[in-house]
Structure 1
Amino acid sequence: MADRLPSELMTEILTRLPVKTLVQIRCVCKAWCSLISSPNFISSKVNQTIHFNKINNSDTLLISHYINKRRKGGGRFSANFYDERLGGRLIQLESPIPNSASHFHIFDSCNGLVCLTDNAFDKANNLILWNPSIRKSVRLPIPSIGIDSHTNTVVRAAGSDGPYGVVIGYGFDFKTNDYKVVRITCINNFPFPEVELYSLNRGHWRRICVAGPIHHFCFAPRPSQAFVNGIVHWVGCNMVAASDISILTFDMSSEVFSQMKLPTSPENGWVVSHLAVSVLRESLCVGHFDSLVRKVSIWVMKEYGVVESWTKLFTFDLGRDFGGILGFRRNGDLLFFKRYDHLFSMDLESQQVKDLRIRLSRDDLKSLYVVTYMESLVLL
């Protein structure tokens, strides 16, 4: 009967099935395997899932944290799905880095493909693109720019001991249907950072020319990124004048850096280490935690690229035990954690707080990463 159906109708039917089911039914026949594995079908499934999640304000959280097993000899990093539709249970995932006790940093998730590293993010040369839904991953080649590449000529000429920081940006190029990773390496006393770009379609790194205000950059303890409108955003500051703070951007299609102004500075001024960028209902968002008065302020850019459209949503006090902001859910709820306590979400309109009942420990807080996630066939 399937042979009698038009291919367009067959595609429409199959895209409505869950990813797990699609992976299983590939073995039914060669025609289905070829269809489900094709780039066009995978893109259609991604778009259908994005549309469904947008209508239903539905999302799944991907949570990674360190499990302390000091008494049993070491520890390990754990990756889990959290979905309230499944009763709020944590579903253990098979890690793409088996038995790894090294640093495990998740940068972001895009269309179901997660970018992470298994070493310290200030080096970030062991990078992985991982699709938990189909349990497949791609380990990226080692970038050419690193500590070893600058220990002789460049660094010594600049009078420095070596690179002092690396920042990663990850997103999707809508024009070429390609997933890209941008890696920025800054060197002490060297005038310009060096930049490499990885393309999943091409399968290799390439150096790109640095154009724009890339000197505006900051290496915070846990730098945040926000991927909006095909552009990656970070909080940045002038390497010479640290009080000169702005948002640094990188367009994944044009591969050009640019700069964006922050909202009007609050009364106590911006503190770059207290700033984070995020995505709130598909809009660029900035959060600032004022350590003096223990308050969190949230701004959203209502019209992308228009500085005058920055709007302060609210300022609220999360108490003395507030630990930090992790981002936003698709429905707009704020995700945050408290010191040595559970993970929480807050409805921004009612400011009602909900305990997600995910117990955290002191070790968890040092290595807790939460990103919104959707099922996907990418990498199939």
Structure 2
Amino acid sequence: MRIAERKAPRRLELVSCPTARTRLLTDLPEETIIEILLRLPARTLTSLRSVCTSWRNLISAPDFTCNHLRRSCLLDPTLTTPRIAHCTGAYRNGLRCGSIGLLSVHSILDNPSKSNQVHCFTEQHYYGIIGSCNGLLCLAHGDAFKYMHAILWNPCTGFTFGSPEISGEVRFCGFGYDYLSDSYKIYAATKKQGPSGFELSARIYTFGPTSSWRKIDDTPVALFGFPSDNSLAVKREGEFFGSSRLCTLNWCVNHVVLYFDLAKETYGHFPLPPGNEIDFPKWCTHLCVLRNCLSFCYEDRITLKWIVWQMKEYGNAQSWTKLAAISVYGKITYPYNYLQSLYISESDVLLVFCPSFGIVLCNLNDESVDFPEIDGSGMRNYPVFSGYVNYKIICIYHESLVSPNGLQSNSKLSIIKSKPNPVDS
């Protein structure tokens, strides 16, 4: 199929393949073509870019990309299907290398007993996940004790872009979208040895053609023991919470949620759910976003249940609501029963990650637990692997066509080399 453009009025002409019965198909205006394409999934549109130059330019245009993202978020979530990204690693010839696996959330939920294939990408270096937003994954080199070097990657389109390195031990970091400036930012709080001892520094990198790391005010950080040595057990990566009027990175620190506003570049905090004043291990707590609500998860050491709270109105401590109390005793082996909530379905099935079991499905209606079959994922035996990883190793992302405005994929960053593609679910 080819497309011919006519000068006036501006229309796109669809022509069938030349055969003995060739005939002109409907001559559609460009606006109609755009409306049709906006109703297709991101992955389909990625393939359609190769149809012709005019479609490639149309689908790659920032306005089209933004409209498709807006439509998929507000009107039709099926256009940007949720997927799981996870990192694994191994030693080869004495060097650490890694791989990134991608798999469909819906295939796991719909057919947990069916063998779910993983789309794997191998890399000679070692990467962890800082965060995900609007279809973009922010990865970082695994050696966070020396420097920060971040890679932005859209698995759907293949777009990649890297930030410059900054020296220092990365203690806290995060990635998200600033709706006020229409830009994507990385936050990093680092510690390094200076002339008078250890120096703390908080910096921001905004992805753009001429961006560099810049220092910001970090005084409020120190007030919360963040990033001091006694908060090593706190999760390094901030959970991004975004809406039409909010864009924050969030951490659990000393029984409060400490947040950093990516737009205003200011700090704030609010209480955790009531009844959490007990000194539970910090490594057992977890922040996530479920059904567009900031959620807090932890293990109740008395009932041995995994508790999930949702904040119905962001920042309003009175809006904390208990979503679930999942009984895991006897179903998930200690001591690696820490659960990281990832996604919840419309039928109230909570998809979680457990270090010693990989993906686990918890049905909130009947409290049943299921362990889906996943081939080639390397998702088990994570306790060994997690001892070396300095960033989180699994997250949810939604497929999109997004790339930051003004950026072209950096061809020098050939960080991802695909294996032969398995059948994608």
User: What's the TM-score bracket when you normalise by the shorter of the two chains?
Assistant: 0.7 to 0.9
Shift of 1:211: 6.1
**Paired residues of 2:171 and 2:236 also in contact (CA < 8 A):** no
Give the secondary-structure state (helix, strand or coil) at the position aligned to 1:264. coil
Give the secondary-structure state (helix, strand or coil) at the position aligned to 2:339. strand
Q: Residue type of the partner of 1:278?
A: C
Q: Of the candidates 239, 242, 245, which is equivalent to residue 226 of structure 1?
A: 239
Structure 1 segment 100-179 matched on structure 2, within 5 A: 100=125, 102=126, 104-123=127-146, 125-143=148-166, 146-147=167-168, 165-179=170-184
Structure 1 segment 46-85 matched on structure 2, within 5 A: 46-51=69-74, 54=77, 59-66=82-89, 68=90, 76-83=97-104, 85=106
* 2:118 aligned with 1:91: yes
Could you tell me how far apart the structure 2 residues matched to 1:348 and 1:201 are? Answer: 43
Could you tell me how far apart the structure 1 residues matched to 2:355 and 2:177 are? Answer: 34
Give the secondary-structure state (helix, strand or coil) at the position aligned to 2:151. strand
Could you tell me how far apart the structure 1 residues matched to 2:146 and 2:75 are? Answer: 37
Structure 1 segment 289-308 matched on structure 2, within 5 A: 289-291=299-301, 294-308=304-318
Q: CA RMSD in A?
A: 3.2
Could you tell me how far apart the structure 2 residues matched to 1:75 and 1:169 are? Answer: 24
* 2:216 aligned with 1:209: yes
Shift of 1:44: 1.6
User: Which position in structure 1 is the counterpart of 2:38?
Assistant: 15
Q: Of the candidates 264, 286, 289, which is equivalent to residue 296 of structure 2?
A: 286
TM-score under structure 1 length normalisation: 0.79
Q: Of the candidates 337, 342, 350, which is equivalent to residue 328 of structure 1?
A: 342
User: Which position in structure 1 is the counterpart of 2:275?
Assistant: 265
Could you tell me how far apart the structure 2 residues matched to 1:315 and 1:23 are? Answer: 41
Could you tell me how far apart the structure 2 residues matched to 1:105 and 1:221 are? Answer: 17
Which is worse superposed, 7-16 or 361-370?
Answer: 361-370
Shift of 1:206: 3.6
Shift of 1:259: 1.3
Q: Of the candidates 376, 381, 403, which is equivalent to residue 361 of structure 1?
A: 381
Could you tell me how far apart the structure 2 residues matched to 1:335 and 1:32 are? Answer: 37
* 2:401 aligned with 1:377: yes
**Paired residues of 1:235 and 1:246 also in contact (CA < 8 A):** yes
**Paired residues of 1:119 and 1:126 also in contact (CA < 8 A):** no
Higher relative contact order (CA 8 A, sep 6+): 2
Mark the runs of 5 or more structure 2 residues left unpaired by the alignment.
1-10, 14-26, 404-408, 410-425
**Paired residues of 1:333 and 1:345 also in contact (CA < 8 A):** yes
Give the secondary-structure state (helix, strand or coil) at the position aligned to 2:371. strand
User: Which position in structure 1 is the counterpart of 2:363?
Assistant: 347
Number of corresponding residues: 349
Could you tell me how far apart the structure 2 residues matched to 1:324 and 1:166 are? Answer: 21
Shift of 1:224: 4.3
The percentage of counterpart residues that share the same residue type is 25
Could you tell me how far apart the structure 1 residues matched to 2:31 and 2:257 are? Answer: 43
Shift of 1:138: 0.9
Give the secondary-structure state (helix, strand or coil) at the position aligned to 1:182. strand
| Alpha-carbon displacement from aligned partner over 1:227-268 (angstroms, at most 9, x marks no partner) | 11321111123xxxxxxx311111121121111221223373
Question: Structure 1 residues 338, 185: CA separation in 2 closer, same or farther (over 3 Å shift)?
Answer: closer
**Paired residues of 2:300 and 2:306 also in contact (CA < 8 A):** yes
TM-score under structure 2 length normalisation: 0.72
Could you tell me how far apart the structure 2 residues matched to 1:190 and 1:312 are? Answer: 44
Shift of 1:47: 2.1
Q: Of the candidates 45, 50, 60, which is equivalent to residue 37 of structure 1?
A: 60
| Alpha-carbon displacement from aligned partner over 1:193-223 (angstroms, at most 9, x marks no partner) | 4221111235423424316732222333643
**Paired residues of 2:201 and 2:218 also in contact (CA < 8 A):** no
**Paired residues of 1:286 and 1:298 also in contact (CA < 8 A):** yes
Could you tell me how far apart the structure 2 residues matched to 1:360 and 1:182 are? Answer: 30
**Paired residues of 2:343 and 2:350 also in contact (CA < 8 A):** yes
Which is worse superposed, 111-120 or 41-50?
Answer: 41-50
Shift of 1:225: 2.7
Mark the runs of 5 or more structure 1 residues left unpaired by the alignment.
148-162, 238-244
